[in-house]
Amino acid sequence: MDSQITSILLSVCVGLGIAAATGFRIFLPMLIGNVTSLMGWYHFSDSFSWMGSWTAFAILSSATVAEIVAYYVPFLDNLLDKIALPLAVGAGTLISTSYMSDEMATPLKWGLGLIAGGGAAGLIHTAMGMLRLGSSAGTAGTANPIVTTGENGAAATLSILAFVIPVVIAIAVIILLVFVVKKLWRYFGSKKKNECA
């Protein structure tokens, strides 16, 4: 029983960590998850085994390269931030659910995946989009490639560490999300006050 609970908790931690990474880049974390499965290091739950196939590798590789390159294109990066928000939420939900133990009830897996995984991805993506807008306004977009490179590094690092130290990363993600929520709350709160003034 204890080992079953531990297995479920670890699967949730892995799912949360890699879902948060999709907030930085949608396809790179999914590609890393695919590679870990192909190498036999960490597998998706049985109902999501197709995500660990070579077909998925080909699709995700192409999508990852296209996404990374697109974010280095001026003005297109800001447009992508707006378009990609629902995709990030969807990817976060899918990838987090795909790692949750098959011992969990399906409605619980998807519900937790949407709230935790999709929520984490959406919040991080929103925060990074606002950071890029600030960079565009303050530097005329010249600093945007630096932001983009940082996002790529964060997505890759977070995805890898989610498999190596899942519990630590899950805790770190929760702390990060609390920080992001506070920042967004203050930003929108002050913006609303200014509009009412």
Per the structure, how many domains does the chain have? Answer: 1
Residue 74: pLDDT band (50, 70, 90) is confident
Helix (H) or strand (E) holding 78: helix 76-99
Task: Determine the pLDDT at residue 3.
Answer: 77
Task: Determine the pLDDT at residue 125.
Answer: 94
Query: Which domain does 43 fall in, by range?
Result: 2-196
Residue 157 pLDDT more than 60?
yes
Residue 138: pLDDT band (50, 70, 90) is confident
* % of the chain residues with pLDDT over 90: 67
Burial class for 55, CB neighbours closer than 10 Å (0-12, 13-18, 19+): exposed
* Residues 24 and 151 sit within 8 Å (Cβ to Cβ): yes
Mention every residue, 6+ apart, whose C-beta is less than 8 A from residue 180.
Answer: 123, 124, 126, 127
Burial class for 53, CB neighbours closer than 10 Å (0-12, 13-18, 19+): middle
Residue 72: pLDDT band (50, 70, 90) is very high
List the Cα angle 27/98/168 in 5-degree steps: 80
Residue 196 pLDDT more than 70?
no
* Residues 95 and 22 sit within 8 Å (Cβ to Cβ): yes
Is the pLDDT higher at 49 or at 102?
49
Task: Determine the pLDDT at residue 184.
Answer: 84
DSSP string covering 104-172: S-HHHHHHHIIIIIIHHHHHHHHHHHHHHHHHHHHHTTTTHHHHHHHHHHHHHHHHHHHHHSHHHHHHH
What mean pLDDT is reported for the chain? 91
Mention every residue, 6+ apart, whose C-beta is less than 8 A from residue 153.
Answer: none
Burial class for 75, CB neighbours closer than 10 Å (0-12, 13-18, 19+): exposed
* Residues 120 and 162 sit within 8 Å (Cβ to Cβ): no
Residue 183's identity, in one-letter code, is K
What pTM, to 2 d.p., does this model score? 0.89
Residue 194 pLDDT more than 80?
no
Over residues 163-175, mean pLDDT: 95
pLDDT digits (tens, 9 = 90+) for 24-68: 999 999 999 999 999 999 989 888 999 999 999 999 999 999 999
Residue 177 pLDDT more than 90?
yes
